[in-house]
Structure 1
Amino acid sequence: LILIAEFIIGNLSNGFIVLINCIEWVSKRELSSVDQILIILAISRIGLIWETLISWFVVLHHPARFMDGTFLTIGIFSWTVSNHFSLWLATILSIFYLLRIASFSSPAFLYLKWRVNKVILMILLGTLVFLFLNLIQINIHIKEWLYQCERNTSWNFSMSDFATFSASVKFTMTMFSLTPFTVALISFLLLIFSLWKHLQKMQLNYKGQRDPRTKVHINALKIVISFLLLYASFLLSMLMSWLSEVYQKELLQMLCQTIGVFYPSSHSFLLILGNPKLRQESL
């Protein structure tokens, strides 16, 4: 029931983000960089939520489908691609907030700040390298698994060995998910440092005055820290899922899937609350 509730909330919140931004795109013939990122992010998360639910259904009712090479490859590859963009686009949002809001005197930072849209595009293209490497590694695991299935068609062998294959795939996915988390964490720390410097400057030069820039910093930090906390829970669920496959704990596996869907569902809901335009449209 919890998984179904998360599925409904995730589809509604992400669908709402796509709908509102697409309506604005059609009416105004233009869309900001943040809104473009939000559209792709929401679409990737809708795909991720559906793929997780389908995988859960197949595991419970049609486990033999995982011996079908085509079904297995399409299923794992599509989940990996959706998960990749779900994590990296949210991380890119953190970088965008950093470049737009933070204030540093470094020439390198100023260069990136003035070219924020190009920087975001280059980072997005650069993440495709990680996706390509991830898919290559997963494809190796899939080929090894299918080769073993062809050599031994015993059902008992296949089901017991599938846990080893699944653990290898999940470990690979977890390792590749650490990189965007690290980047988002660095962005968060730099935002905190920028806010600290700004507050010191305000205390010295503008005592007693209201400061809108501080509010902007704090709002951005709220968005990034909510993402980091949910991301950390998602990584923990992936790690626990890997351990559940190693030790063959089905109950733990179900818990991990529930936590895994909670991240793309709840974070999109928080993005709506943190975005003035989306929040206004939702009222």
Structure 2
Amino acid sequence: MMGIAIDIVWAATIIVQFIIGNVANGFIALVNIIDWVKRRKISLMDKIITALAISRIDLLWSTFLITLISSLDPDIKMAVKIIRINNNTWIIANHFSIWLATCLSIFYFLKIANFSNYIFLYLRWRFKKVVLVTLLISLIFLLLNILLMNIHIDIWSDASKRNLSFSVRSNNCTQFFRLVLLINTMFTSIPFTLSLLAFLLLIFSLWRHLKTMQCHAKGSKDPSTAAHIKALHMVVAFLLFYTVFFLSLAIQFWTSESQEKSNLFYATIIITFPSVHSCILILRNSKLRRASLLVLWWLLCKSKDVQTLVP
């Protein structure tokens, strides 16, 4: 009974986070697209955030459907076509979700950090190309990830055909899913390292700036300091959820629990990252925050009108 109750709690958590994530990311995409249509132009940051929101909706749906199918019929995982489609769909959605967020961290670093180094000044001057090249290079990692995953699936498929006693609960199948997690963890570590590097360089830039301000006997609350702190808040929030997501991959790789037992927990961690972080993006972005407050005010007015009409 306790196990069933825990599964129900995990499932309810997944559904709530799934709804919140879709609403938050859909709101981000809708606000930026409407603003784009009105002004007929859109900034690079808004482009990244809009693409990030769309990719996260895709990630939420792919994770939710994979978890639902796996929970309803665990043996369906044994079908090679289902495994291939599930993995490729999730890899693509997760790739763009993580790399677009990494590009956002790079964008904050190049726009706000202050270094006199020639290479940094060149990269800042060409920051649009830096973001574009980063995304293009990430496609190489995406292709390698898909290629390695499909090779691994083919090897596993051949082994399962030779072994008639092969099942979802066998050690061979457990090893298969562990290697899948190892491959995903390996490719996830690359954008994680880039985001961490941008975070450390932002801290170093802020430290140098504060030191310069102290030498000139000026106050610490200047526009540059405020911009550094705001950027650090955004990058820290991303790294915090990113770390939990990254560690969940590593923990699930080393855990001895069966795939069925850890399935709901793993799905909860995956869905938390694109759901909660998108809510933080709304709160930290002035345009999105204003739009969300207007929507909340409109909903409150509508609810009051409904209450007055009800006798």
User: Is the shorter-chain TM-score for this pair beyond 0.5, marking a shared fold?
Assistant: yes
In the alignment, the residues of structure 2 paired with residue 46 and residue 164 of structure 1 have an alpha-carbon distance, to the nearest angstrom, of 30
Contact 2:174 2:259 in 1 (8 A): no
Question: Are 2:167 and 1:157 equivalent residues in the alignment?
Answer: yes
Paired residues of 2:74 and 2:168 also in contact (CA < 8 A): no
CA distance in 2, matches of 1:117, 1:143: 39
Aligned partner of 2:301 in structure 1 is: none
Partner of 2:225: 214
Superposition CA RMSD, Å = 1.6
CA gap 1:253/1:65 in 2 versus in 1, 3 angstroms: closer
- Residue 258 (structure 2) aligned to one of 248, 263, 266: 248
**Can you list the C-alpha shifts for 1:80-132, whole angstroms capped at 9, x where unaligned?**
01111111111111110000000100000000001110111011101111111
Report if aligned partners of 2:78, 2:167 keep a CA contact under 8 Å in 1.
no
Q: Report what 2:190 is aligned to.
A: 179
Q: Please, which moves more after superposition, 129-138 or 200-209?
A: 200-209
**Cα distance change, pair 208–227 in 1 and its aligned pair in 2 (3 A):** closer
Aligned-partner Cα distance in 1 for 2:263–2:80: 23
| Map of 1:194 onto structure 2 | 205
Tell me by how many angstroms 1:250 deviates.
Answer: 4.1
2: CA distance, partners of 1:198 / 1:191: 10
Change (3 A) 1:209 1:262: closer
Alignment check: 8 A CA contact 2:75 2:168 kept? no
The DSSP-based 3-state class of the residue aligned with 1:157 is coil
Which structure 2 segments of 5+ residues have no match? 1-11, 294-311
Equivalent of residue 157 in structure 2, options 138, 141, 146: 146
Match of 1:279 in 2: 289
- Counterpart position of 2:131: 120
- Aligned match for 2:247, one of 220, 236, 247: 236
1:188 maps to a residue whose letter is F
Would the aligned equivalents of 2:74 and 2:260 in 1 still touch at CA under 8 Å?
A: no
Take 2:29 and 2:149, find their aligned partners in 1: how far apart are those partners? 30
Q: 2:21 aligned with 1:10, yes or no?
A: yes
The answer on whether the counterparts of 2:210 and 2:220 sit within 8 Å (CA) in structure 1 is: no
Structure 1 residues 161-195: Cα deviation after superposition (integer angstroms, max 9, x where no partner): 32221111111101110111111001000000101
Deviates more, 1:56-65 or 1:82-91: 56-65
Aligned to 1:260: 270
- 1:132 corresponds in structure 2 to 143
**Contact 1:241–1:253 under 8 Å retained in 2:** no
Contact 2:55/2:96, CA 8 A, preserved across alignment: yes
Alignment partner of 2:49 out of 38, 44, 61: 38
Please list every run of at least 4 consecutive aligned residues from structure 1 whose deviation after the TM superposition is greater than 4 angstroms: none
Q: TM-score w.r.t. structure 1 length?
A: 0.94
User: Are residues 1:90 and 2:101 paired?
Assistant: yes
> Distance between the aligned counterparts of 1:206 and 1:116, measured in 2?
32
**% of aligned pairs identical?**
46
- Report how many aligned residue pairs link the two structures: 281
Quick one: structure 1 residues 260 and 104, their matched pair in 2 at CA, closer, same or farther if it must change by over 3 Å? same
Aligned with residue 71 of structure 1, among 72, 82, 100: 82
Q: Judge conservation of contact 1:238–1:260 (CA < 8 Å) in 2.
A: no
The one-letter code sitting in structure 2 at the alignment partner of 1:180 is P
